[in-house]
Structure 1
Amino acid sequence: MELQTTVHRDLPALRDLAEQWQSLHETSGTANPFTGPDWALPWLERFADGTRDEPFVVEVRSGERLVGVAPLYVRSVARGLARALQPVGTGAVWVGPYELPGLLTAAGLERDATRAVVARLCEEQASWDWAHLLLGGGSAAPWLEPEWLPDWSFTVLQRRLRANVWLDLTVEDVFAGRRNLKESFRRARNRLTRDLGADGWAVTRTTDPAEVGAALGRLASLHGSRAGLRDGRPVHADVLEDTRVLDLLHDVVGRMARRKAVSVYELRLEGVVEAALLVLHTDTASYSSISGVAERGWPYSAVTHLQSVAVEDARAAGHRVFDLSCGPNQAKLRWSDQVRTATEFTLVGPRRRSRAAHLAVAGHGVWASYGEARRAHRS
């Protein structure tokens, strides 16, 4: 199949593309909420304005039809001695909630569109020294095939995996064989009613664009409170501590709310919000994002209870997947043993200078990946 590609390096052109990009996101059937313009454009506007880093978004078309978008940007690295292409949402500003950026492709054209992106990157080799591409994760071809390269002067390396636990909502009993999990749901409800009475607690779901901003503000405060809980409870980092990240999230959630693609669940105890959960939606899936809980809500397994409500709402909406976010751990694997992976590849350019610079930076990258993993394990 002959596909045409265009590289966009400025924000006005990307804003013009946004409507078609969003339409492709909705019709692609993707379960990944991070591959549409709602996440990429606000990030680029804040962190790739052209002063040092700049957009490098590849558009793929079949005739007039948009069939793929690769949201990338060019990042200056090694004190300006090299340039790396990498997914929007990654880099020096670690945006915890922006977990799985990747390529967006039309259903049935995952491999062809991804191959077209790789071919265009190779044509544009003068613009970068190496490129990071995240494939899979429910939104693109699962692998970067070496045969897609124009010649063997390019080098493909596997960089790392990203994994997330997910629930299959198409089965009759989502929690089959998860007796302990079902029991925890029941105990949480019973304890809430015993301690507070049937009218003393409630779960609310906010989707109204006029109200989502305030709900997100309460969630951010509770997220910070959760990070401060100790006494043997799992350590969590406050991924919203950086005000730039919180500002970005408010923008993204506001955009998604206008399309009814986001929900904020809150547990109220005697009228006071003591726990909250952000859930992102595509046409086929729901994605459990950041959460927060105060000291008072902790004994009631508050976040787990909110997630159980969100699962039921996702099933009622006809969603096929409920995603428990990146980073399998004991708490998430209680829900399901199904783990989906996305693979990040590095494509190193053919120039000797590019290869040397990548080798020099790779060692530092190992340390950076270690730091990122340390943060992720606490979120």
Structure 2
Amino acid sequence: MKATLITDGAMLEAIAPEWEALWRRGGGTTPFSSPAWLLPWWEVFRPGDLFTVAVRHDDRLVALAPLYREDGPWGRRLLPLGISVSDYSDVLIDPEHREAAGAALLALLHDHQPLWDLWSAEEAPPDAAVLTLLWGASWTATIEPHSACPVLMLPRTVADLPAAIPARTMRKWRMAQNRVGRRAWRIERAEPAHWRPLLDDLFALHQQRWISRNQPGVLADADVRRFHQRAVPRLLEAGLLRLSRLSIDDRVAGAYYGFDQGLRSFAYIGGFDPAFAFESPGTILLGAAIEAATHRGASEFHFLRGQELYKYGWGAVDRWNQRLTMKDRA
């Protein structure tokens, strides 16, 4: 095992193909650890000094800890790339080399301990690889609950959805389908050659919704919008993105931004025009995403961070992210 420290963005971009290969062969369980998501994040935000650890075995990438170093009031903290816009974060470790690669990763961080004070693994999901690292006697590690991420367990077939989703929500969904069925409506999905109008509509709808509440909303920030503009084409190319737009009578009524990966689907953000509240465009788009996830064989639908009531209305149950904080005693 050979571990190296990557401190240059160009070097990080250069390993993108290896990074994606590691992520796809089992190193990553969510889109938030993919290069399609994290490289655009680093390009736009760069909140500190890049401090990413790469581990190779026989010249093959077998582990990656996408980190940066923040020098702030809590000292020199190592934090995950993607922080704030990511609902999950983790290190990537090849399942065939989990113990040895993890040990090499920790050894490199130990060797560079004079350069940092604390490693804070934020928003680690319950199955995160970072939670399985074998800490030696020189390390102090503490863990605490971080954020609730409600998850709906999906049935095997679409026909079984009424048994998985509470009856009240099923009635609401069917009623919304009946209401839009009386109008001229369609749902279209973003494609690699046609995504910008759908993303712009999402920005506009989301902002419209939050302005009505006298709040800016998460997409009001120019850098956040620029990040998504860079991430969307990469996510589409990687086959991860589900960006959809609902039109009713040739007017955009709602938009949905989520991800599909393996046995999981993820609902990231959405927006709708309050003028179409009667037709419930949010319910239509979310129900369509859940139905599509079930149809393709997914077993979990993740509503991601936050305990909004509508998530539990769909039958989701809390699953808690963890915050793992590590110090090297050396």
- Does TM, scored on the shorter chain, surpass 0.5? yes
CA contact (8 A) 1:30 1:284 kept: no
SS at match of 1:202: strand
- CA deviation after TM superposition for structure 1 residue 30, in Å: 4.3
Which residue of structure 1 aligns with residue 120 of structure 2?
A: 132
2:202 is the alignment partner of 1:219: yes
Q: Distance in 2 between matches of 1:61 and 1:17?
A: 12
Distance 1:135 1:65, change over 3 A: farther
Q: Work out whether 1:252 is the aligned partner of 2:203.
A: no
- Partners in 1 of 2:186 and 2:281 — Cα distance? 11
Partner Cα distance (1:22, 1:84) in 2: 26
Does the alignment pair 1:328 with 2:307?
yes
> How far did 1:328 drift?
2.8
The residue number in structure 2 matching 1:286 is 265
Question: Which piece of structure 1 moves more, 277-286 or 167-176?
Answer: 167-176
Give the superposed CA RMSD: 2.6
User: How far, CA to CA, are the matches of 1:184 and 1:140 in structure 2?
Assistant: 35
Paired position in structure 2 for 1:184? 172
What is the TM-score normalised by the length of structure 1? 0.78
Determine whether 1:270 maps to 2:249. Answer: yes
Q: Which residue of 2 aligns with 1:106?
A: 94
How many Å apart are 1:112 and its aligned residue?
A: 5.4
Structure 2: stretches of 5+ with no match in the other structure? none
Q: Which moved more, 1:160-169 or 1:132-141?
A: 132-141
More deviation, 305-314/105-114: 105-114
Give the aligned residue type for 2:81: V
Residue in structure 2 matched with residue 369 of structure 1 by the alignment: none
Match of 2:222 in 1: 243
Q: 1:176-219: per-residue Cα shift (whole Å, max 9, x none)?
A: 252112111111112223xxx2x52222222x112112210110
- Structure 2: how far apart are the matches of 1:126 and 1:307? 48
Q: Map of 1:118-157 to 2, 5 A cutoff?
A: 118-134=106-122, 136-137=124-125, 140-141=128-129, 143=131, 148-151=135-138, 154-157=139-142
Offset at 1:238? 1.0
- Which residue number in structure 2 is paired with residue 84 of structure 1? 77
Partner of 2:63: 68
Give the secondary-structure state (helix, strand or coil) at the position aligned to 1:143: helix
Q: Return closer, same or farther for 1:170/1:190 CA change in 2, 3 Å cut-off.
A: closer
Is 1:281–1:287's contact at 8 Å kept on the other side of the alignment? yes
How many angstroms apart in 2 are the aligned matches of 1:161 and 1:140? 13
Given that residues 135 and 142 in structure 1 are in contact (C-alpha distance below 8 angstroms), is that contact kept between their aligned partners in structure 2?
no
Give the fraction of aligned pairs with identical amino acids, expressed as a percent.
Answer: 27
Which position in structure 2 is the counterpart of 1:165?
Answer: 150
Query: For 1:107 and 1:320, how far apart are their aligned partners in 2?
Result: 21
- One-letter amino acid of the counterpart of residue 319, structure 1: A
**What is the CA deviation profile of residues 303-340 of structure 1, one whole-angstrom value per residue up to 9, with x for unaligned ones?**
12201111222233333322111123321112234333
Range with greater deviation from structure 2 (257-266 or 69-78): 257-266
Q: Tell me the distance in 2 between the aligned counterparts of 1:201 and 1:83.
A: 53
Structure 2 Cα separation of the partners of residues 336 and 104 of structure 1: 30
Q: Secondary structure at the match of 1:336?
A: coil
1:201 aligned to 185, 201, 223, which one?
Answer: 185
Contact 2:156 2:294 in 1 (8 A): no
CA contact (8 A) 1:77 1:83 kept: yes
Q: Quick one: which of 10, 24, 37 aligns to 2:35?
A: 37
Alpha-carbon distance change, 188 to 107 in structure 1, aligned in 2, over 3 angstroms: farther
Native 8 Å contact 1:29 1:283 kept in 2: no
Q: How far off its partner does 1:77 sit?
A: 0.7
1 CA distance for matches of 2:277 and 2:264?
A: 27
Moved more, 130-139 or 32-41: 130-139
Q: Shift of the alpha carbon at 1:243?
A: 0.1
Q: Secondary structure at the match of 2:195?
A: helix
Indicate how the Cα distance of structure 1 residues 318 and 65 shifts in structure 2: closer, same or farther if over 3 A, else same: farther
Give the secondary-structure state (helix, strand or coil) at the position aligned to 2:220: coil
Name the SS of the counterpart of 2:15 in structure 1.
helix
SS of equivalent to 2:51: strand
Kept in 2, the 8 Å contact 1:30–1:139? The answer is: no
- Distance in structure 2 (CA, Å) of the matches to 1:86 and 1:277: 29
Name the SS for the 2:319 alignment partner: strand
Residues paired across the two proteins, number: 327
Letter in 2 for 1:11: G
The CA distance in 2 between the partners of 1:20 and 1:128, in whole Å, is: 27
Whichever residue aligns with residue 75 of structure 1, its letter is E
